[in-house]
């Protein structure tokens, strides 16, 4: 179902009124984790003014350490929904547990399945039974075919709305957090009709590397860019070191728009 044989034209997926895959870029931005409401509102207003069209934030965080901040849970979903409504932006948030799909789907416009859960087949199946579209990140050690097979799990349940996200894969080199596989974008485009976006934040882990990799992703044909933004990265509850400040986001968003206009 994910293949071009099944569906030769590119899919356009409606995310709370924003078409993804139709030519207009999905500009997903926001902090890694949902934090206090006033901070969320501040960040949302700033990224919207900069050109973002979908707001992000994790309420259920898949952390490497069980002692790290795990997210605000349903309270975080409510905060994200309220902020999205106030700013007129659809929201995307991660679901980590099949038991929470229904709860997350009640608040979110787009269900994120993270890299660590790309092959959680029970979660994929549950998301496939939801009426909400799914943002499926590439697993950190997944081949492109593995990733498309995971999309297939969602599609096979009757949910045709899957957006793929390249977020970097494991490599031997600690110079970047992960290795940004920009060629994955045209490879996926040659195999599948599903929209594919890039996440240079998790791919590189470094603010200075986010703009060049975001632009490379768009030049390679990505349907959108996912970037983490925080107004005080030094106190962020999660992924602070890779967050762009709102002004830095505004600058890269402007460069992306200029590049997209040339393509």
Coil, strand or helix at 237:
coil
Residue of minimal CB distance from Mn ion? 32
Binding site partner of 137, from ligand PEP, Mn ion, none, Cβ cut-off 5-8 A by kind: ligand PEP
Under DSSP, the state recorded for 137 is E
Residue of minimal CB distance from ligand PEP? 114
Neighbours of 160 (CB within 10 A): 16
Quote the least distance from Cβ 175 to ligand PEP, whole Å: 18
Residue 94 or 126 with smaller CB distance to ligand PEP? 94
Q: CA 198 to CA 166: how far, in whole Å?
A: 5
Contact 1, 155 (CB under 8 A): yes
Residue 109 or 239 with smaller CB distance to Mn ion? 239
Residues at the contact surface with Mn ion, assessed by CB under 5 A: 32, 239
Residues at the contact surface with ligand PEP, assessed by CB under 6 A: 32, 58, 62, 114-116, 137, 167, 202
Structure tokens at 22: 């139709």
Quote the least distance from Cβ 139 to ligand PEP, whole Å: 9
Quote the least distance from Cβ 218 to ligand PEP, whole Å: 19
Quote the least distance from Cβ 210 to ligand PEP, whole Å: 14
Neighbours of 168 (CB within 10 A): 25
Which residues share a beta bridge with 13?
Answer: 20
Quote the least distance from Cβ 167 to ligand PEP, whole Å: 4
Q: ∠ CA 80-210-168 to the nearest 5 degrees?
A: 85
Residue 32 or 43 with smaller CB distance to Mn ion? 32
Closest CA to 33 of 196, 229, 253: 229
Binding site partner of 115, from ligand PEP, Mn ion, none, Cβ cut-off 5-8 A by kind: ligand PEP
């Amino acid at each position: 179902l994910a293949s071009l044989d099944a569906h030769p034209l590119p899919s356009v997926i409606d995310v709370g009124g924003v078409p993804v895959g139709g030519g207009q870029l999905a500009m997903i931005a926001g902090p890694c984790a949902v934090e206090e409401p006033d901070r969320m509102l501040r960040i949302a207003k700033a990224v919207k003014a900069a050109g973002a069209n979908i707001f992000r934030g994790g309420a259920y965080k898949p952390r490497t350490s069980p002692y790290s901040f795990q997210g605000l849970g349903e309270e975080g979903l409510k905060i994200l929904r309220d902020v999205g409504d106030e700013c007129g932006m659809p929201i995307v948030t991660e679901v980590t547990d099949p038991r929470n799909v229904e709860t997350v789907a009640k608040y979110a416009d787009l269900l994120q399945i993270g890299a660590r859960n790309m092959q959680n087949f029970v979660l994929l199946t549950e998301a496939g039974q939801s009426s909400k579209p799914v943002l499926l990140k590439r697993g950190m050690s997944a081949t492109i075919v593995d990733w498309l097979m995971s999309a297939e799990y969602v599609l096979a349940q009757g949910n045709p709305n899957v957006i793929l996200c390249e977020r970097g894969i494991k490599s031997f080199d600690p110079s970047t957090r992960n290795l940004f596989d920009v060629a994955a974008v045209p490879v996926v485009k040659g195999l599948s009709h599903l929209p594919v976006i890039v996440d240079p934040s998790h791919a590189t882990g470094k603010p200075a590397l986010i703009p060049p990799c975001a632009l490379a992703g768009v030049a390679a044909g990505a349907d959108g860019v996912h970037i983490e933004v925080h107004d005080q990265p030094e106190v962020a509850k999660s992924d602070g070191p890779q967050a762009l400040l709102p002004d830095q986001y505004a600058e890269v968003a402007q460069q992306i728009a200029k590049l997209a206009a040339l393509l």
